[in-house]
Amino acid sequence: MNAAKEEQRFCGRGFTEAELRLIQEVIETCGGLSRTELSHTVCELLGWKRAAGRLKARECMDLLEVLEDQGLLKLPKKRETRRKKIARKIAPAGGTQPWTHLTGSVERFAPVEVDLVEGREQRVLFQDLIRQYHYLGYAMPYGARLQYLVYVSQPNRQVVGCVQFSSPAWRIKVRDQWIGWDDVTRGKQLQHIVNNSRFLVLPKIANLASKLLSCVLHRLRSDWRAQYAVDPWMLETLVDRDRFHGGCYRASNWIALGETSGRGRMDRAHARHGASVKTVMVYPLVRDALERLTQGQGG
């Protein structure tokens, strides 16, 4: 098997030719290990960990699959797992959903409550809702992530929205220029930005989107610190300009910076240039966010 000729970057980390050769050797010599075991082994050998000390096994799994797609290694087949099915708590798409009758002002349904998705049952519900009712569907996000289910309390407690935050895009031209980043500083400080990668509001309740967003942002910073031992200083999101104006973000004082080229984060061959242009919006979580992102200062 031929080793890679140059450094590769993935999830903000560079992998040298020697490291890529090491990964290849691990895959070749540990044939009895599962994909999960291989990803943990590679993380241990390379010291690829989060600030809190946990291995970046999920990101490593994604990296291994990318390297396999490039023909640099051959992973073992995915093992089939039999998991107990959890009863779905939502109606099939096209059926009668429990939130369709919820109309009027958000005050009628207060208080709005937010749950961090933690257990398997909540994860399944979150994924089903995003898969069925979000135009992008559900896909496992790269890197770190936090997911929230949002509920109204009246006339009874029920889910009305889903919000997901995940690792930021490695490079966004208008964002990086606005912050004043060069490549070196971006590499050091990027972990302090968090991407709002999914936002779903189910019923047509006036002002629910802005209220939902406000409730989630009220706790996101402390939740992210608790989970990843990294303090987020700014949020970003990408709004499909052909579908949405981003009204709830604008009403919540997010800043529109400009537009993307239309490439996704994994489009290294520039094959999708201009395919889906997004409006880039950011929201500072601290007053001196730009100073911290350019100078690394935190308080």
Query: Cβ of 247: how many Cβ atoms within 10 Å?
Result: 11
pLDDT at residue number 150: 93
Q: What SS3 state is found at 225? A: helix
pLDDT at residue number 285: 96
Q: 190-230: per-residue pLDDT in tens?
A: 999 999 999 999 878 888 889 999 999 999 999 999 998 99
Q: What SS3 state is found at 240? A: strand
From 153, 161, 166, select the one nearest 59 (Cα to Cα).
Answer: 166
pLDDT at residue number 80: 62
pLDDT at residue number 220: 96
pLDDT at residue number 271: 44
* pTM beyond cutoff 0.85: no
Tens-binned pLDDT, residue by residue, of the chain (299 aa):
444 446 677 776 888 888 888 888 888 877 677 888 888 888 888 888 887 778 888 888 888 888 888 888 888 887 665 555 444 455 444 455 767 678 777 888 789 899 999 988 999 999 999 999 998 988 887 778 999 999 988 888 889 999 999 989 888 999 999 999 998 899 889 999 999 999 999 878 888 889 999 999 999 999 999 998 999 999 999 999 888 878 889 989 999 999 987 655 444 444 444 467 899 999 999 999 999 999 866 55
Q: Which residues pair with 234 in a beta bridge?
A: 193, 284
Looking at the chain, list the stretches that DSSP marks H as alpha helix, in order from N- to C-terminal side.
Answer: 17-29, 35-46, 57-69, 120-133, 173-179, 183-189, 208-228, 247-251, 289-295
Q: Which residues pair with 12 in a beta bridge?
A: none
- Which positions ≥6 away from 199 have C-beta within 8 Å? 161, 162, 163, 164, 209, 213, 237
pLDDT at residue number 28: 83
pLDDT at residue number 90: 52
pLDDT at residue number 264: 53
pLDDT at residue number 297: 61
Q: 53-64: per-residue pLDDT in tens?
A: 788 888 888 888
